[in-house]
Amino acid sequence: MKSFYTYFLIIFCCITGNTVNAQKASGRAYEFLNLPSSARISAWGGYAPALNDKDLSVALYNPAFLTNDVSTRLMFSFLNFYSDIAMGNVGYAQSFEGFGTASIGVHYLNYGQFTETNNLGDVIGEFDASEYAVQLGYSRMLHPQVLIGSNIKFISSQLYDYRSMALAADLAVAYYHPDGNFYVSLLARNMGRQVKKYREGDSESLPFDLQLSFSKKLANAPLRLYAVAHDLQRFDLTYDYSDPTTNTFGDMQTSTSSKAEEFADKLLRHFVMGIELVPGKNFFATIGYNYRRRQELKINGRSGLVGLSFGVGIKISKFSISYGHSTYHLDGAPNHITISTRISDFLPAPKEAPIIP
């Protein structure tokens, strides 16, 4: 097993190179990797907290939680995004005795059909655009109560006649309390580089994200608290309005906030938090809050529910069905559906060996 980690570190260093440095949000490619991959993650506010409760979508997001609890689980997820953009996810995990737990997942985004015109505005045809990523994951227990896991991602993008490919990796470590009610994890996502550029010139960076998350189930109430601190590699997540490429809406209002208020605003943009009702193993209801999403997408004077997200999940027979609703803008909110099951539940139980007197 030591040789496995040696090989992984070699591959990991080759893929990531120097791309883990702090980077601006503009100029990055493959942002679809940051879209929520399941209804529950949508309900949490777009980020998965540290948690191990047999949810495969969490294990695909954070490979440290690829444990035996998600073995033989199969997941399908669909998001109806804005402007008929469709996103789908499928994943499966399998444990192997003496080796650990492995997973495979496919993340797909279809932007739909577009009308192609020439410089005179004449329609000359149609074109489409899509992106997808195939990931392979692995995890095992590093030490009692400490888990470590990794994902390798193969990414492809086709936007009209422009095509590109990239390799990326996730690396995660997690700690859990023996009672199973407290989890904390450090996760580095989307470390990598382009291997084929859209066009000649400089390559685009990947949406690297360093996260610290936790979840805590209350001892005397059916409630779970959670929080995720994301983009820790870069403190200031506000837009740089002095950059002419980001200012497309005319003059921006000058800020009259004090330095303390500006610091608090920049700090809170890193946090997604919420609370989850978990009265039993077969039901959950979640409400989440994404401060950064609210600050960036609200309309002054009409904030509404922007930044809030909701979701429910229920287990019916052998299937777990969850629904997520996240408010990005006053114009509407996308709906997310996820269905998962355990393949082993459909297989006959192994026969016991006969007892020979």
CATH of the domain at 15: 2.40.160.40
Domain assignment present for 232 = yes
Per-residue tens of pLDDT for the chain, all 357 residues: 554 455 445 545 554 454 544 455 556 899 999 999 999 999 999 999 999 999 999 999 999 999 999 999 999 999 988 778 899 999 999 999 888 999 999 999 999 888 889 888 889 888 899 999 999 999 998 888 999 999 999 999 999 889 999 999 999 999 999 887 999 999 999 999 999 999 888 788 999 999 999 999 999 999 999 999 999 999 999 876 555 444 444 444 455 678 999 999 999 999 999 999 999 989 999 999 999 999 888 887 677 788 899 999 999 999 999 999 998 877 778 899 999 999 998 888 666 555 555
Q: What is the pLDDT of residue 356?
A: 58
Q: Is the dihedral of CA 263, 206, 150, 91 positive or negative?
A: positive
Q: What is the pLDDT of residue 168?
A: 97
Q: What is the pLDDT of residue 26?
A: 56
Encoded amino acid at 275, one letter: I
Domain assignment present for 356 = no
Q: Can you list the pairs that 270-273 forms with residues at least 24 positions away whose Cβ atoms lie under 8 Å?
A: 270/229, 270/230, 270/231, 270/232, 270/235, 270/237, 271/227, 271/228, 271/229, 271/230, 272/44, 272/45, 272/46, 272/47, 272/227, 272/228, 272/230, 273/45, 273/225, 273/226, 273/227, 273/228
Domain assignment present for 350 = no
Domain that includes residue 47, residue range: 2-243+257-343
Q: What is the pLDDT of residue 301?
A: 66
Domain assignment present for 351 = no
* 268: nearest Cα among 250, 245, 295: 295
User: What is the C-alpha to C-alpha distance for residues 21 and 304, in angstroms, rounded to an integer?
Assistant: 36
Domain assignment present for 355 = no
Domain assignment present for 92 = yes
User: How many separate domains does the chain show?
Assistant: 1
CB burial readout 259-289, b (16+ within 10 A) else e: eeeeeebeeebbbbbbebebeeeeebebebb
Domain assignment present for 101 = yes
User: What is the C-alpha to C-alpha distance for residues 85 and 83, in angstroms, rounded to an integer?
Assistant: 5
Q: What is the pLDDT of residue 151?
A: 98
Domain assignment present for 251 = no
Q: What is the pLDDT of residue 24?
A: 55
